[in-house]
Each structure stands twice: as structure tokens, then as C-alpha cells.
């Protein structure tokens, strides 16, 4: 299928057969799975997923690619949703007791907002496997104490168990991106630590908006020093050293 990649959609099409096979093996699709692929592109992974599935849903924004997919998979069990994944209501695809399995080579220019959009559907999801910029994956899975640990780490680790599976080189794509990519596995946590998301978001965003400051100064608009100590937080610590449990505790304190 001929299609020129469009920069405005962040299109880099994966074509390396070996990498595609690795991804399929990591996902391990089964016939009855309720599988959704975000950004199928020209269908390189789509065709491999369909080989294992009774049905596959795809969400594609580019109307030219939608037309190509309609022609290429006219007689296959492919359900094409011509839509923006950032606006798509994924819960509409859960029509029975089966949880959703979501996969995709996510456009790097919208990866973070898309991950946050998907997080609201976590209770309906069995797992997610995504190709992302390696730097983003490293931030997602980072532990407290390093420079990669931040808002993205805390908010996603509150919702998911995550692991980086393997790295994908630029030459596996057309056109090759300027950065390395990585595959991440995200499994929703059945019972996240109890707190209201908007308060956790407020605490975490405030803390990391001035990450060079000690936590006492970055959160002085929300908490007193004694409240930080009560949460088990050293007021002189930097935000990147604070664990998820402490952020959740502070969010609950703010909520209360």
C-alpha cells in the first residue's frame, strides 16, 4: 500500500518483520480476545494480529489510511473506527464480560496525553502493549530517586504495573525516527491505592513543577512542614525521591 508518512500525525511506520514478530509474541493474542489497535498505519501489525484473532478493532485518525485499510482488509474481521484516539470512548467497545486488550505504535507527539486518556478506562482493560519513544518508557517505569522519575511515573504507576520489554532501533521504521523506541507492557492494578485522582494530580503536578526545589518549598502552597513529616516525607527531600505511597497519602490529606 502506497502512503507517504504525514509529519503532522507523527507517522513512523514499523516494517521490520523480526520486531513485529517479537511484539506479537509479547502480546500473545488469543482468538477470543477483545483486541484494539491504536494507529494501525498501513497494517503491518494489523495483519499479524488478525492471524490470531476472530475480530480486531482499530482506531485510525488519518482518513487516507482508513481507506487503504478498508481496501486491504475488505474480507477480514477488521472493525475500523475512523476517529482520534485522544477523543475516542474506548468503553463503547466492551460489549460483554471480556476486558479490553489495547496495543499500538503510538504517535510520539501525543503519547503522554493519550496515556492519560486511556488511564480512565483502566478498570475495563486487561493489558496494554505500546511502542513509544524509549525516553518516555523510561520515565513511565522509573523508580524514585532518578532523573527519569516524575509526574508521568507517579500517575501511571498508581494505575498500572509496568515493564519495559525491549528496545527497537530507528531503522525498524519508515521513515526512521531520530530516537530509539521501546515496547512497554501495562497491566492495570485491580485496586489502586485509594485517593481521588484530581487531588493526586494536583499534588504531583505541583511537586514536579519545581523539581529543583526541596519538597517543603515546592508544596508550601498545599501543606505545612508538619503535614509533610506526618506523611513520612523529609521536608528537605527533592520531589524525585518521594514514593507513590507518600504522594497518595498527601492527596488524601488534601482531599480531607
Secondary structure of the chain as H, E, C letters = CCCCCCHHHCCCEECCHHHHHHHHHHHCCCCCCEEEEECCCCCHHHHHHHCCCCCEEEEECCHHHHHHHHHHCCCCCEEEEECCCCCCCHHHHCCCCCCEEEEEECCHHHHHHHHHHHHCCHHHEEEEEEEEEHHHHHHHHCCCCCCCCCHHHHHHHHHEEEEEEEEECHHHEECCCCCCEEEEEEEECCCCCCCCHHHHHHHHHHHHCCCCCCHHHHCCCCCCHHHHHHCCCCCCCCHHHCCHHHHHHHHHHHHC
Domain boundary among 153, 188, 223: 188
Looking at the fold, whether 27 and 135 belong to one and the same domain comes out as: yes
Looking at the fold, whether 221 and 164 belong to one and the same domain comes out as: no
| Closest-CA residue to 124 (of 63, 30, 188) | 188
Taking the alpha carbons of 48, 182, 140, 82 in that order, is the dihedral positive or negative?
Answer: negative
pLDDT digits (tens, 9 = 90+) for 41-67: 889 999 999 999 999 999 999 999 999
For residue 221, is it within any domain? yes
For residue 153, is it within any domain? yes
Looking at the fold, whether 177 and 208 belong to one and the same domain comes out as: no
Domain boundary among 188, 217, 246: 188
pLDDT band at residue 4 using 50, 70 and 90 as cut-offs: very low
pLDDT band at residue 38 using 50, 70 and 90 as cut-offs: very high
Judged against a pLDDT cut of 90, whether residue 78 lies above it is answered with yes
pLDDT higher at 3 or 144: 144
The CATH number given to whatever domain includes residue 139 is 3.40.50.150
For residue 235, is it within any domain? yes
For residue 244, is it within any domain? yes
Looking at the fold, whether 231 and 162 belong to one and the same domain comes out as: no
Q: What is the mean pLDDT of residues 23-28?
A: 98
Looking at the fold, whether 138 and 235 belong to one and the same domain comes out as: no
Q: What is the mean pLDDT of residues 121-143?
A: 97
pLDDT band at residue 9 using 50, 70 and 90 as cut-offs: very low
Looking at the fold, whether 104 and 203 belong to one and the same domain comes out as: no
Looking at the fold, whether 163 and 251 belong to one and the same domain comes out as: no
Looking at the fold, whether 145 and 238 belong to one and the same domain comes out as: no
pLDDT higher at 174 or 248: 248
For residue 85, is it within any domain? yes
pLDDT band at residue 11 using 50, 70 and 90 as cut-offs: low
pLDDT band at residue 212 using 50, 70 and 90 as cut-offs: confident
Mean pLDDT of the chain: 93
The residue with cell 531520530 is 178
Looking at the fold, whether 13 and 44 belong to one and the same domain comes out as: yes
- CA 169 vs CA 21, 78, 229: distances in Å: 15, 29, 45
Q: What is the mean pLDDT of residues 158-169?
A: 98
Q: Which residues form the domain of 213?
A: 197-255
Looking at the fold, whether 139 and 216 belong to one and the same domain comes out as: no
Looking at the fold, whether 100 and 201 belong to one and the same domain comes out as: no
- Structural domain count of the chain: 2
pTM of the model: 0.91
Judged against a pLDDT cut of 70, whether residue 6 lies above it is answered with no
Looking at the fold, whether 62 and 129 belong to one and the same domain comes out as: yes
The CATH number given to whatever domain includes residue 231 is 1.10.8.100
The residue with cell 471480556 is 98
pLDDT band at residue 210 using 50, 70 and 90 as cut-offs: confident
Q: What is the mean pLDDT of residues 195-203?
A: 96
Domain boundary among 129, 155, 188: 188
Judged against a pLDDT cut of 70, whether residue 119 lies above it is answered with yes
Percent of residues, the chain, with pLDDT higher than 90: 85
For residue 2, is it within any domain? no
* Cell, residue 67: 481507506
For residue 1, is it within any domain? no
Q: What is the pLDDT of residue 1?
A: 46
Amino acid at each position: 500500500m502506497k502512503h507517504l508518512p504525514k509529519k503532522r500525525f507523527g507517522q513512523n511506520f514499523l516494517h521490520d518483520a523480526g520486531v513485529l514478530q517479537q511484539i506479537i509474541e509479547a502480546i500473545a493474542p488469543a482468538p477470543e480476545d477483545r483486541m484494539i489497535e491504536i494507529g494501525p498505519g498501513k497494517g503491518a501489525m494489523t495483519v499479524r494480529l488478525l492471524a490470531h484473532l476472530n475480530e480486531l478493532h482499530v482506531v485510525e485518525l488519518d482518513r487516507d489510511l482508513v481507506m487503504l485499510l478498508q481496501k486491504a482488509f475488505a474480507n477480514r474481521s477488521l472493525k475500523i473506527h475512523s476517529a482520534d484516539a485522544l477523543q475516542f470512548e474506548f468503553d463503547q467497545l466492551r460489549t460483554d464480560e471480556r476486558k479490553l486488550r489495547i496495543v499500538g505504535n503510538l504517535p510520539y507527539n501525543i503519547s503522554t496525553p493519550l496515556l492519560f486518556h486511556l488511564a480512565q478506562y483502566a478498570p475495563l482493560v486487561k493489558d496494554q502493549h505500546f511502542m513509544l519513544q524509549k525516553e518516555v518508557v523510561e520515565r513511565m517505569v522509573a523508580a524514585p530517586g532518578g532523573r527519569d522519575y516524575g509526574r508521568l511515573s507517579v500517575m501511571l504507576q498508581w494505575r498500572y504495573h509496568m515493564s519495559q520489554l525491549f528496545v527497537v532501533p530507528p531503522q525498524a521504521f519508515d521513515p526512521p525516527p531520530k530516537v530509539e523506541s521501546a515496547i512497554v507492557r501495562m497491566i492495570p492494578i485491580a485496586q489502586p491505592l485509594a485517593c481521588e485522582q484530581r487531588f493526586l494530580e494536583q499534588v504531583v503536578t505541583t511537586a514536579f513543577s519545581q523539581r529543583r526545589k526541596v519538597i517543603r518549598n515546592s508544596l508550601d502552597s498545599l501543606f505545612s512542614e508538619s503535614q509533610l513529616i506526618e506523611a513520612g516525607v523529609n521536608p528537605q527531600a527533592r520531589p524525585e525521591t518521594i514514593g507513590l505511597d507518600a504522594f497518595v497519602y498527601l492527596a488524601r490529606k488534601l482531599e480531607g
